[in-house]
Structure 1
């Protein structure tokens, strides 16, 4: 009986920790970027979990003064899961159970360039871009923005 109670308690904790993650994933990036871009920070994506991830992630500012995270033209990863998501994170590993340590940017379900507009003020606590497989809950890659 104690084991069953412990298992139920652990399952409840796991489910509650997932509540911090929004059920709504922003749709594929459809944003307007104007004028020449100023690259503020950049990093090379490292491959994780055998996903074949490669490319560059950048923090850029457009002519209108809006901030974006961009993935380069040569960005690629394993797209067969259908839930490749892009996050900003305070570290190289995504900690979905720690609110404030990540910001969901949107989907990246095809290779090539992507732009994700950053809402609100630029927050320097986010140091990494994470490519995440939502279906398997594993990292596909990350880049430190420097």
Structure 2
């Protein structure tokens, strides 16, 4: 019987993620975020600028810079960060979202998952280009830089 008890206890512990996880969300009601892409992509042909934005820091982070929303010759849309883009990557990555407004991404996602659209993960400063998957740009007014680990916005850029 003792030989069976240890394996059963081990299976029970391993099957309980909260016991093994050192980091958990502060709000269990937050719907799972969409999976962002990683790395930059190369647009094809001439680019047309659709919207621009200036990133304002949020939550005490140094996230700043300029960005543009562009369309390439293949009619694909991208978030293009300028050379002056800077953020704090102490958590490893920051997720770029298109959003209805500059409020907390987690709160917007809990209110209605269609309020936000994940674009990509960013983990370095400077010029980068990220594909906006499956269109839908017209319903969003802001680009938000969000830290999933800390559940806070790092910065936001209203689009003009």
Under a length normalisation based on structure 2, what TM-score does the superposition of the two structures give?
A: 0.74
| Contact 2:119/2:133 (8 A) holds in 1 | no
| Contact 1:37/1:62 (8 A) holds in 2 | yes
Counterpart CA distance in 2 for 1:25 and 1:43 is: 21
Structure 1: any 5+ residue segments left out of the alignment? 1-13
Counterpart CA distance in 2 for 1:103 and 1:136 is: 19
Would you say 1:118 and 2:129 are equivalent positions?
no
Would you say 1:73 and 2:73 are equivalent positions?
no
Name the stretch that deviates more: 123-132 or 63-72.
Answer: 63-72
Flag the structure with higher helix content: 2
| Contact 2:31/2:109 (8 A) holds in 1 | no
Which protein has the larger Cα radius of gyration, Structure 1 or Structure 2? 2
Structure 2: any 5+ residue segments left out of the alignment? 1-26
Under a length normalisation based on structure 1, what TM-score does the superposition of the two structures give?
A: 0.81
Would you say 1:96 and 2:109 are equivalent positions?
yes
Q: Please give the per-residue CA displacement for 1:91-126, whole angstroms capped at 9, x wherever unaligned.
A: 111212121000011111100122221222333111
Would you say 1:21 and 2:33 are equivalent positions?
yes
